Structure formats: C-alpha cells, structure tokens
Structure 1
Amino acid sequence: MLSRCIFIVSFCCISFHAFSDTRLLLRGSVISADNADTFQTNGVSHQRFENNAVALSQAVLAYDKVLSDDWQFHVVANGYSDGEQKLGVSQLYTQYRPLTASTIKPEIKLGFFYPAISAENTDMGWLSPHFLSNSAINSWIGEELRTFGVEASLRQNGRQVRRDWSWKVVGSLFKGNDTTGTLLSWRGFALHDRQSLNDDRVKFTPIPGVVSEEGIGAPAYSEPFREIDTKTGYYGGLHLAHKRRSELRYYYYDNRANPLIFDPDRIYAWRTRFHALTLRHMRNRNVTLFGQALIGDTLMGENIVNNDFYAAYIAASYTHEAHQFSTRLDWYQVIDNDNTTDDPNNSRGEAITVNYTYAMSSQIALSAEWQVNRGRQENLRFLNASSVSSENFHENLFQLAITYRID
C-alpha cells in the first residue's frame, strides 16, 4: 500500500541523514477521566483516555532536510500508547520554495500533509503550544483530514513591499480522504490530541442501525485516508496578515467523493464539504487571542446519511516569564437531515478547557489541564435505557503531563 511505503521511506530518511535536522518531543501524562469506555475501544466516551491511567500521550520525531536552495523535505513520525496504530507517519512531503527577486513568491507542496487551517496547532508535529487536547474542530481535522496530493500557493510579505498587510492564496488537489465525515456522523465531535497515522483505523460505538446487516452494514470503524472512488478532491484558501500581529484565514474544502461507492469492507465514501474561518491576534507579547469556525455538510448513499455540521471555539493564552495560562470554549453540532430512522445522527455539545503550563527549562515543561465536555447525542439511546436522559453525556478529564523536547 502507498501508506506503508510512506512509513518505510520516512524512517529511512531519518536514519540516513544528519541528526542535527531532527527535533524530538516526548510527553507522558497522568490521566483522571470518567469511568466510560473511550471511542477508541468502541465505547461511548468522546475522550481519548478513560478511567485513571498513565500514558505516553505524545512521541513526535520531526525531520527537516534542505535538499537544495529551492527544495526541502519534511517528515513527522508519531508514537502512541493507545489507538490501533501505535507508530507511523502523520506528515511526509517535499516543499518547493524557489529563491526569487519577485515580491510575489510561489510555493509547492507534494506529499501527505495538513491544510493550514488551524489557529492552535502551531507547534512542532502539529501540536498545540497552549493545550494538551485540541478543540473539537482540530481534533476532527487531526483524525479524519489529511491530504495526499499537491498544494500550490502564491504569497507576498508586507515588509518586503513596505506595507502592513501580507497575503497568501492556496489551492490543492488531493486523494485519499474519501471517508471524511464518518466519525462526525456516527460518533460526533470529540476532544483530544491524537492524530491519525498513515495507515490508521479509528473506532466508534457500534450503533445497531449502522453495523447490523439489516441496517447499513458498515464496520464500527473508519480508515480516514482510504481511497475508494478514485476521484480527486480539492481545497482553496486565503491568508491575510497585518503586521505579523493579526491573521485571518479562510478555506473551502470539497473531497468530491462519490457517496454511492463503498469498498469490499463496506467502508463508504462520503461527500464532505466545509467552509473554515480562522482568526488569530497577538494583543501584546503576553496575550494571544484565537478562534475558528467551521460549517459544512456530508452525504453518504442516496440520502442514507445526510448531515450538516457546525463547530466553533474561542481561546486566549497569557504568558508571563515561564508561566502560561490558557482557556478555550468549544461549541459543536451535527444536524441530521435524512429519514433513516435507525441511524439518528443529531448531536451537539459544548466544552471548556483550562490549561496551566510551567516551562522548567527550554527542554522540560509541566502542564495541568482540566476539561469538561457535555452535550446530547441521539444515537446513544440505542446503547442505554430508553429515555431522553440516556442521550445526554457529561465528561470530565484531568491531565498532568511532562513534556521533554530536543529542538
């Protein structure tokens, strides 16, 4: 498979090049969570971890190599103590940035990478420098959305032309995101920091109307980067930045999947489209404000599953010397528009996340994070007693983490 080739090539490159171009991050976490099985073990919880546990929550190896004046190579390998695939690649691509005297500069990416939608995942390996867990939007992007394709862009730096504004326009063609929308529909939004790897599988609760032969007959898992219908998807974006203090990004994404196609494992293609808006503002050297909004829809079959989805968050981070305080408020919703009675997909929720991080040194940081996630998910009634209250969920998660990095 192409994904296995990506895995082999990436580790060969790490092995045969200078270690000075490599960055390493290790994070161990002590977790106290509600006594509910996580979605990763086909449970109902929207959290990555369950009960009380000690886990390797992140092991990230990021390698960057300058191949020439114009070409660079990037790869990110991840290791986890949980999930289906414990070790693999989350990004692998080459980047063409030619040296040119023109004020408008081109750039091309080719490989396996994220669209630059996120306002919070700006640390190495697409981690957040502010939180241990991602927002609902970026948890979903980390799970279901990665492109294997080509991205081309044009950009202009305001400083070079003595203006306050910088800009960038982006366009991409890709394959391998045909199942995007599965988790939003059959599990709903989640909040965590685990990124799906190159050949990964993400489980969800086996809803009877989904997994039974009398129903849809799908498996209780998704393989996020599987190619099913051979069609090419696309996205386009615009970045605007003012004096390097404020930035706005807009993206439109359409995987163009054929919703009538499924493979021999009965993994379906989902036609998924969305608009994404990102805002980030550095009020001063200590305070950063940021947020995102997402609106889209997904379709599977001849109106078997037809959902709209919405999500947004606002966040703030304050840094003083070695101390950082961050907080985030999330809202999210999936609206069921089809008439498949045994597969209700309505869900909604809100979450609050509070984080404190203390940088003991340039290499070691201690973090404490508390999160409350609550809402209502209609298909939970098939797994609990038949009552309205059985559709409600209320999840608490507390984490203590130590992060070690070599840059």
Structure 2
Amino acid sequence: MIPRRKLAGSSGVTLAAALCWLAATPALAQEATPPANDTGGGSQTDIFSKDTLSVLVDARLVVANGATSYVDGGFGKTRFQGGDDGGFKARAVPVEADLIWTPRFTSSLNANVSVAYQKNHEESVDLIEAFVNYLPERKGKVGFSARAGLMWPEISLEHSTGGAWSVVNTITPSTINAWVGEEVKVLGGEGTIHAAVGQSELTATVGLFGYNDTSGTLLSFRGWALHDEKATAKGYFKLPPLNDFIVHLQEDRTKSTAEIDHNVGFYGRLDWRPPQPWGASVFYYDNKGDPEAFTTAGQWGWRTRFWNVGFNADLGPNTRLLAQGMTGSTIMGFETGGQRWVRTKFQSAYVLVTHMFGDVAVTGRAEAFSTDEHGSEMPRNNSEDGWSMTAAARVPINDHLTALFEALNVRSSRGTRVTLGGLTSPFEGQTVFQASLRMRF
C-alpha cells in the first residue's frame, strides 16, 4: 500500500509570490538609478514585423542501427533506431518546424515565444518557450538583467540563445544538454548582476521556479540519451519498461512541465570572463521536489539536485573548445529499509572542439556518462555506463539555408535491457548518420 502523500505546509513560499518579487526587482533597480537621459524607449517598439517573426524548418536524411529507441519506449540511446533486426535503416524525416516571435516592447524589454512541430512528439505542435527579457542599458561597471516565463536556465554551451533553442555546430547535443532539453525546463524568473572587476567580467544569476517536479524521471528509468527533442508546455516523454514494483506506481510516460508539490525550486550561476580568450561557469540546481508527492495519474515528485561546470576557450583564431561536466542525484518515493524507492546518482562530461575552414565549421566531441542506482526498489543492474563520439560539419549555403552532417557512435551498458527489455545482452552499440537541411526565413 502506498502511504498517503504529505500535505504541503501553508507557511512555505509560493511560486506566485516568488515571481512577483522577481518581477518587481527590475523596477526597483530602475528607481534606484534613474536614467540620465530619456532614450525614448517607445521608439524601439516592434511587435509584429519581418524582423520579429521567423520560421525554422529542419529536414533530414537519417541512416541508423540499433534496438528500439527511447522515442518508442525502448532502451535505445538515440532518437533514431535501426530496422526490425537492429540493422541499418535509412529514412527521410521532416524533424522540426518552429515559429519564433521576438517582439520588442522598448529598448530594454523584449520577449521570445517559440511554437514548434516535433516529429513523433506526443504533442506534435506545442509551445516551446515563452519568456520576457529585461536588459537595460548598462551605465558604469555594474549592470542588471532579468528573465521570466517558460524557459531553459542557461546551462548548455552548445545551444544558441535565440529562438528555437537549437544546437549550433552539431545536430545532436551532448547527453548533458539533451537531458537539459527534456527535463530541465522551468516556469520561473531569474535576475542577473553583471560587474566589471578589473579587466574581468563577472556575472551572478539567481532563479526561482516551479513546474519542474518530475525532473529526474527519465534519467532514472531510462538513463542518458543522445537526441535533440525538446520538452514542451504540455507534452510527455515515453518511458521504457518498468520493473514489477514501479510499474504499479508510475505512469508509462512522464510530463516534464508538471507542478505536483507547489514547492519553489532555485538555481544559481556564476560566470567569469577574464581578458584572456576563455571563460568558466558553475551552475547549481535544486528543484526542491517532494519525493513523496504524486498525482492520481501516476506522476511523481522528484528531488533533483546537480552541479554543472562549463569552460570555453579560443585555442587559436579559428579553433574553439567547449567542455561541460555535470554530477547530481535524484530521489523518488517513500523510504523502505532506510532507502528511498529510487535513488539515482548521475554523471556526464564532454569535450568539444570546433575548427573553422573558411565558412565551414568542423566539430568533434567525446563524452562519457553513467548512472548509479542505490534505491530500495531499483536494483544495481538499473545502473548504466557509456561513452560516445561525434563528428559533424556545418556548411552555410546562403542567408537562409544551412547544411549539417553528423556521424555519431554511442556504446553503453544497462542491465535492464536484459531483465526488462527482453534483449540478450546489456551492451549495445549504435551508430547514426544524419544530414540536415535547416531553412530559416
């Protein structure tokens, strides 16, 4: 029998109150330092025009092998899978289409709203992002900015900050940023202080959020994956087969943007950019989830915490290095024998190098990943280890068309492939070749 879930305390800080505080902060900053001159921000207004609306379309030719993909509820690590026998299979795929709206309300206030079609996603057309940016003109050594809405925290070094949250120099992001894309989307607000310290630039960001209570579900039950699917406002991700205990508690899918316990999570980020051509960042996240909270539909609260460190450097005039590392843990369920039902530790890291040959960008990435299970109802064979190698090229064709080519190989071991997936070995190697044509108008 499942114990009755705990009732949230009425004395806790509500998400609404937290967002109200964040929304008020920019106004307070303006009041404390009134502008020396009226810049006439209204003249910067541009709500609907060819400059505020854009469309991004991604069509691909894919050749892949391997067992059933996570997309179809399997243990495959990639978005695309092989034929019925696991051998290579080729297909042409219209992967994604995005409508991006970036209105400017004043010279310091703008917004980003993205709606996307994603092939094989449960909600084939859904809201991707919707947030407001406040970025006043910086006057002096200290500045302030803020964001609020449905958005991803700034964790990924591989994605662009513009609409559609797209990877820049590869087709597939690393396991770290693939997971961020599917389970670390938040509804909240953040404030950032920018400061010049000597010849260096320091920034500090603090964010408060909700609607991210299920973060960790995919990492525990499926493990890491390599793909470019993105969480949406209403969509779900399928789960692989679950064990005999969990299957009676957890729905066979997980909703990334769910609010179950009404606790307010937080994150913080520090960035350092010295005068030399490199930069470093550290990020901490805690969704403050209640692991004993659940819905009648079988969606559970997860307490997920992690650290992420990032590093970027220009190795030469045409060569750039990116590196990220993440380590964290997530728990779910009640205690049995002193342990939560599910307790997963996770780690991943990658190094990526891009070199420009004229207008063509050639990229190589190596990464390793793992999860370690310690829960009372998740045996150790649910743990996994793996690594992957990726090679890619980005070739601009004209102002509206870009071609990308990618070869990805991933090898991993996970015991549930045998015990729950019906496969003969816990080991699997998968290779995916992709050619993408991105059209932006």
Instruction: Normalising by structure 2, report the TM-score.
Output: 0.83
CA deviations 1:25-74 (Å, max 9, x no partner) are 21101111115222121122121122332212232232222111331111
1:45-124 → structure 2 map (5 Å cutoff): 45-51=76-82, 52-122=90-160, 124=162
Give the whole-Å Cα distance in 2 for the aligned partners of 1:35 and 1:100.
52
Matched to 1:337, the amino acid is: H
1:120 partner SS? coil
Q: Confirm or deny: 8 A CA contact 1:209 1:343 kept in the other structure.
A: no
Q: CA deviation at 1:164?
A: 2.9
Q: CA deviation at 1:308?
A: 0.7
Aligned to 1:5: none
Aligned to 1:331: 368
CA deviations 1:186-221 (Å, max 9, x no partner) are 0000001111111110012122335533xxx21121
Say which one has the larger Rg. 2
Aligned to 1:401: 436
> Does structure 1 residue 284 correspond to structure 2 residue 284?
no
Aligned to 2:269: 237
Q: CA deviation at 1:343?
A: 8.0
Q: CA deviation at 1:305?
A: 0.2
> Does structure 1 residue 30 correspond to structure 2 residue 61?
yes
Aligned to 1:4: none
Q: Confirm or deny: 8 A CA contact 2:245 2:377 kept in the other structure.
A: no
Aligned to 1:310: 347
Give the whole-Å Cα distance in 2 for the aligned partners of 1:272 and 1:374.
26
User: What runs of 5+ residues in structure 1 fail to find an aligned partner?
Assistant: 1-15
Aligned to 1:3: none
Q: Confirm or deny: 8 A CA contact 1:272 1:298 kept in the other structure.
A: yes
Q: 1:397–1:100: structure 2 CA closer, same or farther, 3 Å change rule?
A: closer
Q: Confirm or deny: 8 A CA contact 2:365 2:389 kept in the other structure.
A: yes
Q: 1:343–1:300: structure 2 CA closer, same or farther, 3 Å change rule?
A: farther
Q: CA deviation at 1:244?
A: 7.5
User: What runs of 5+ residues in structure 2 fail to find an aligned partner?
Assistant: 1-46, 83-89, 336-340
One of 393, 401, 404 as aligned partner of 1:364: 401
CA deviations 1:229-259 (Å, max 9, x no partner) are 0000000110111238312111100000000
Aligned to 2:166: 127
One of 191, 197, 200 as aligned partner of 2:235: 200
CA deviations 1:3-27 (Å, max 9, x no partner) are xxxxxxxxxxxxx722321232211
Matched to 1:374, the amino acid is: R
Q: 1:151–1:360: structure 2 CA closer, same or farther, 3 Å change rule?
A: same
Matched to 1:132, the amino acid is: I
Matched to 2:383, the amino acid is: N
Q: CA deviation at 1:83?
A: 1.6
Give the whole-Å Cα distance in 2 for the aligned partners of 1:341 and 1:270.
15
**Larger displacement relative to structure 2 (323-332 or 339-348):** 339-348
Aligned to 2:416: 379
Q: CA deviation at 1:271?
A: 0.2
Q: CA deviation at 1:385?
A: 5.4
Q: Confirm or deny: 8 A CA contact 1:199 1:225 kept in the other structure.
A: yes
One of 124, 146, 153 as aligned partner of 2:185: 146
Identity of aligned residues (%): 22
Matched to 2:49, the amino acid is: A
Aligned to 1:40: 71
Q: Please give the root-mean-square deviation of Cα atoms over the aligned residues, in Å.
A: 2.0
CA deviations 1:86-105 (Å, max 9, x no partner) are 11222111112223523211
**Larger displacement relative to structure 2 (117-126 or 335-344):** 335-344
Give the whole-Å Cα distance in 2 for the aligned partners of 1:385 and 1:42.
13
Q: 1:22–1:284: structure 2 CA closer, same or farther, 3 Å change rule?
A: farther
1:381 partner SS? helix
Q: Confirm or deny: 8 A CA contact 1:355 1:370 kept in the other structure.
A: yes
Instruction: Normalising by structure 1, report the TM-score.
Output: 0.89
One of 301, 311, 320 as aligned partner of 1:269: 301
**Larger displacement relative to structure 2 (340-349 or 225-234):** 340-349
CA deviations 1:105-136 (Å, max 9, x no partner) are 11121111111111111263221111000100
Q: 1:148–1:384: structure 2 CA closer, same or farther, 3 Å change rule?
A: closer
One of 383, 386, 394 as aligned partner of 1:349: 386
